[in-house]
Structure 1
């Protein structure tokens, strides 16, 4: 299967759920439009960073692409805060599916011996965008203050800092701690978005996600600084 067909299949996998969402939940037109813009931006980045010799994405990256279509659909709902409020449970189920697929792509890559730097980066950047979407949803629903955006913005602040401090761009060793913190961020933010979660619980959940992420970034930045002259 060619890369163009992979990306087209992913777009089709986005359009159908978006149409169903608009029909069943009476989503406004900006929802599917924003979802498609997010998906097209993602595919643009994929094509820009894809190794030149690749002729297909491979099954692991196809799983990541499918997860990306789900995240793009969730991002589209940010255009309609009323939809976020009245369809919190169905959207939480979609978010849970995206979280579960986060472990599938890595498993497929290991089973098929197709691990790659591109695949790891694709997965990581999609995780970062997914977390930012969940943070924005919490803010739009007035379940948390603007401080919650620090969770979603931290990865992008790190990337911007790396433009000046080039030692921050060095590759990091594999870390289960980093993956566990990512999973907790998504899980905590998803639970915080549920209607049954009160303000106090939201504060503790989002606060713990922010604290864990700050701790994880501190460990990675310290490691990179120590090895900057190596």
Structure 2
């Protein structure tokens, strides 16, 4: 975790030296990393194998997500340097899957690791939605994409049937990939607001249909 913090600080120093990142945004990134570290320390119980390489890869993947979260404190970054921020998000996306592959390869898959990976994906999607909304490139309705998963989890406390485990689904995975790719495609400055709106709307539509199918399956399973 300390090594990851060092990498984050080095990356922030480079971005600040390059010009676009302000001290406020860098502070926001450090605060995002600190919150992540606190949540990890609270959730993780040390197994015999330690933190493990798959979780380390996930933690490295969290670094660009923390920078993107910090940039929310300087929304003009999403308007003026969207291509750079999209590059950071792509870096996080390229590492997605490597942690799972390592977990299977090293026989180090854990419930904690799977949850860590899933929560990081959800947080990254919400951050991208916030960035697009704060920049004004897409309407505030784009937040529905990032908040839908959290609304589903919250609904599970009201309706226990929604807390059941869902089977693996290629449809669900494809929708997840599309919403991330669509949000990434909205970021670059050369992408117009109308095109970004269309891309985000397609992601929201696909996500709504996917969640609707899952909710129907869960409700029908137990009556």
> What SS does the corresponding residue of 1:57 show, helix, strand or coil?
coil
TM-superposed CA distance for 1:51, in Å, is 3.3
- Tell whether 2:21 aligns with 1:27: yes
Structure 2 counterpart of 1:112: 106
Among candidates 168, 173, 176, match of residue 182 of structure 1: 176
Normalising to structure 1: TM-score of the pair? Answer: 0.91
Do the aligned partners of residues 166 and 67 (structure 1) sit closer, same or farther apart at CA in structure 2, a change above 3 Å counting? same
Gaps of 5+ in 1: 1-6
- For 1:137, the equivalent position in structure 2 comes to 131
- CA distance in 2: counterparts of 1:43 and 1:206, whole angstroms: 31
Show the counterpart of 1:200: 194
Alignment partner of 1:125 out of 101, 119, 143: 119
Query: How many angstroms does 1:102 deviate by?
Result: 1.0
Partner of 1:100: 94
Change (3 A) 1:228 1:118: farther
Q: Could you list the runs of 5+ residues in structure 2 that have no partner in the other structure? A: none
Q: CA RMSD in A?
A: 1.6
Please report how far the alpha carbon of residue 151 of structure 1 lies from its aligned counterpart in structure 2 after TM superposition. 0.3
Instruction: Give, in whole Å, the separation in 2 of the partners of 1:224 and 1:49.
Output: 27
Asked whether the equivalents of residues 135 and 149 of structure 1 are also in contact (C-alpha less than 8 Å), the reply is yes
2:77 matches 1:77: no
Q: In the TM superposition, what is the alpha-carbon distance from 1:200 to its structure 2 partner?
A: 2.1
Q: Aligned with 1:216: secondary structure?
A: helix
> Is the 1:99–1:183 Cα contact (8 Å) retained in structure 2?
no
Deviates more, 1:174-183 or 1:138-147: 174-183
Q: Contact conserved, 1:32 with 1:76, CA < 8 A, in 2?
A: yes
Deviation of the 1:37 alpha carbon: 1.3
Aligned to 1:4: none
Give the deviation of 1:82 after TM superposition: 2.3
1:108-143 superposed Cα distances (whole Å, 9 cap, x missing partner): 112112222211111111111101111111112211
What TM-score does the superposition give when structure 2 sets the normalisation length?
A: 0.93
Aligned twin of 1:3: none
